[in-house]
Structure 1
Amino acid sequence: MPLVDMPLEKLKEYQGISPRPEDFDEYWERALEEMRALDPQLTIEPAEFQAPFADCFHLTFTGVRGARIYAKYIRPKNVQGPHPAVVQFHGYSGHSGDWSSKLGLAAHGYTVVSMDVRGQGGRSEDTGGVKGNTLRGQIIRGLSDDPDNLLFRHIFLDTAQLAGIVMGLPEVDETRVAAMGGSQGGGLTLACAALEPRIKLLAPVYPFLSDYRRVWQMDLAKDAYEELRLYFRSFDPLHEGEDDIFRRLGYIDVQYLAPRIRGEVMMAVGLMDTITPPSTQFAAYNKITAEKQLVVYPDFGHEQLPRFDDKTLAFFQNKL
């Protein structure tokens, strides 16, 4: 089989090369304290789109730094008693998608809440206010500022805050909440379950936002990771501060949040992926200590993975 990365045997042992900041745990405890102190100012309003078997709503809350975060909220009708819920996250630069794409889960009795990532293609706000570059990429937003101002710090907190809000909805059984998403959505699924460990099940697909130095080493700082290359070219063309740059990126590296996950994980990876290289995904997967399984697609890259949607639904049905 052709390779774009390490052989599978080595991938299963790979632990990542991007540095972990010494104060990583303190950083995230401080961040969570900021999130927990917020008044979310939750609003829920009926949507224009409705379905015969589900009620659809616009859900909005206030996240860290005052941003209003939006999510589509679909609640199945005629479900007796508290029932399970699924929190969904989308790919980089995208949005929560069409209402109709969520109706399958609602038809199976799940409340579905799908978040627009702040400052990307949907309705959530990016309140900005950081020093340094703000062009072409959210990974590097805040990288020249205090680490507490990294934009993906705020985005990771949004995912955890939303999960907590979903667990508090009157129709939802807080012990039966799952998270799912692909690419950026896969990375956010991991971050969400790490920062809100009550998430019971995770179904991430080729997660983004992991092992940034490995991406650079493979000369794949392009496409989704292009902003890493642009940052060096603009601000550190001689790579004199390379070690410190990757250390600061370590605060928003999902491989180092992965050990906090307590929910059961079913993760999909394509071994021909040149957008989020397999080794970067394994760096996160190999650090998960909770119950887990990996679904490997040897001939697939960063694309639709056949049958995984069905496997995900079966995973939820069997475990939730």
Structure 2
Amino acid sequence: MPQVDMPLEKLKEYEGRNPRPADFDEYWSRALEEMQAVDPKVELVPSSFTVPFADCFDLYFTGVRGARIHAKYVRPKNVPQPHPAIVQFHGYSGSAGDWNDKLIYASLGFSMISMDCRGQGGTSEDTGGVQGTTLRGHIIRGLNDVADNLLFRHIYLDCAQLAGIVMDLPEVDAARVGVIGGSQGGGLTLACAALEPRVKKLAPVFPFLCDYKRVWEMDLAKDAYDELRTFFRNHDPLHKREDEIFTKLGYIDNQFLANRIKGEVLMAVGLMDTICPPSTQFAAYNKITTPKSLEIYPDFGHEGLPGFNDTTLQFMLGL
């Protein structure tokens, strides 16, 4: 079998390369306290997009550091309440996308909500000095500042906060909430379920934002991880701060959040993935301690994985 990473038997044992900060748990306890102190000021605005069997809303809430976050919310009509819900996260620099792909779950009696990550391709704010969008550079935002100002810290908290907001909706059964997403959305799925442990089921696909030092050592700090290379070239060309930088990235490394997950996990990985290398994904998967299963696609990279959307839907029907 051709390979771009370790042999599969080694991947199943791999525990990651990136350093874990000594105060990792305290860091996230402090972050969650900040999130819980925020008044989200949730607003539901009926959308101009309509379908007969569901209500569609633009949902807004205030996240940490004052950012106003947007999500698309689809609520099925004429179904028993409370009912299950699915929270969806998108790929890096993307957005919540069109309404139509949310209707599949709504037609089955699920509420579904899809978040625009702050400052990326949708309408959620990035309050880091500007209003509106910055699109990319989010991994490195805060590396020259205190770790509490890492932008992905705030994005992870947005994900957890949104899941909690959904669980508090009167029509939703808080014990029957699932989370899905691919690439960045896969990494955010892991982070969301780790920081909001009431998430019942999660289905991450080739998760991004895992084991940054492994990406660097494989010379794959390009494409989605290109900003790591750019940061070193511009701010630490002699790599005198390399240990410091990778340790700080450890705060937002999903492999270290993975053991907080309480829900059941269904994950997919393509063994030819050169965007989010398989070993980085296994570094997170191998630390999950709850019931879990992994769909392995030997010939596929960072691309559509045939059948996995159907497998995910079947998995979530068990909520």
Tell me the TM-score normalized by structure 2. 0.98
Give the direction of change, closer, same or farther, for the CA distance of 1:198–1:136 in structure 2 (3 Å limit).
closer
| Residue 309 of structure 2 corresponds to residue 309 of structure 1 | yes
Match of 1:295, SS state, is strand
Identity in percent: 73
Aligned counterpart, 2:284: 284
Q: Describe the superposition over 1:193-251 as per-residue Cα deviations: whole angstroms up to 9, x where unpaired.
A: 00000000000000000000000000000000000000000011111110000000000
* Moved beyond 2 Å, runs of 4+: none
Match of 2:207, SS state, is coil
| Residue 118 of structure 2 corresponds to residue 115 of structure 1 | no
Equivalent runs, 1:13-28 vs 2, <5 Å: 13-28=13-28
Aligned counterpart, 1:191: 191
Q: Distance in 2 between matches of 1:308 and 1:136?
A: 28
Q: Distance in 1 between matches of 2:123 and 2:312?
A: 27
Aligned counterpart, 2:228: 228
Q: Distance in 1 between matches of 2:275 and 2:67?
A: 29
Q: Distance in 2 between matches of 1:288 and 1:127?
A: 33
Give the direction of change, closer, same or farther, for the CA distance of 1:32–1:283 in structure 2 (3 Å limit).
same
Aligned counterpart, 2:300: 300
Deviation at 1:135, TM superposition (A): 9.3
Match of 1:101, SS state, is helix
Deviation at 1:49, TM superposition (A): 0.3
Tell me the TM-score normalized by structure 1. 0.98
| Residue 213 of structure 2 corresponds to residue 213 of structure 1 | yes
Q: Given residue 165 of structure 1, which amino acid in structure 2 is its aligned partner?
A: I
Q: Describe the superposition over 1:157-177 as per-residue Cα deviations: whole angstroms up to 9, x where unpaired.
A: 000000000000111000000
Deviation at 1:129, TM superposition (A): 3.8
Unaligned runs of 5+ in 1: none
Give the direction of change, closer, same or farther, for the CA distance of 1:135–1:145 in structure 2 (3 Å limit).
farther
Deviation at 1:136, TM superposition (A): 4.7
The answer as to whether partners of 2:93 and 2:135 remain within 8 angstroms in 1 is no
Q: Given residue 37 of structure 2, which amino acid in structure 1 is its aligned partner?
A: A
Q: How many residue pairs are counted as aligned between the two chains? A: 316
Q: Distance in 1 between matches of 2:59 and 2:275?
A: 32
CA RMSD, Structure 1 to Structure 2 (Å): 1.0
Equivalent runs, 1:79-228 vs 2, <5 Å: 79-129=79-129, 136-228=136-228
Give the direction of change, closer, same or farther, for the CA distance of 1:145–1:135 in structure 2 (3 Å limit).
farther
The answer as to whether partners of 2:120 and 2:135 remain within 8 angstroms in 1 is no
Q: Distance in 2 between matches of 1:123 and 1:287?
A: 34
Aligned counterpart, 2:245: 245
Match of 1:21, SS state, is coil
Q: Describe the superposition over 1:20-41 as per-residue Cα deviations: whole angstroms up to 9, x where unpaired.
A: 0000000000000000001001
| Residue 30 of structure 2 corresponds to residue 43 of structure 1 | no
Q: Given residue 52 of structure 1, which amino acid in structure 2 is its aligned partner?
A: P
Aligned counterpart, 1:65: 65
Q: Distance in 1 between matches of 2:211 and 2:129?
A: 26
Deviation at 1:81, TM superposition (A): 2.0
Q: Given residue 244 of structure 1, which amino acid in structure 2 is its aligned partner?
A: E
Q: Describe the superposition over 1:129-187 as per-residue Cα deviations: whole angstroms up to 9, x where unpaired.
A: 49xxx895100011100100000000000000000000001110000000000000000
Match of 1:180, SS state, is strand
Match of 1:221, SS state, is coil
Q: Distance in 2 between matches of 1:211 and 1:129?
A: 29
The answer as to whether partners of 2:265 and 2:290 remain within 8 angstroms in 1 is yes
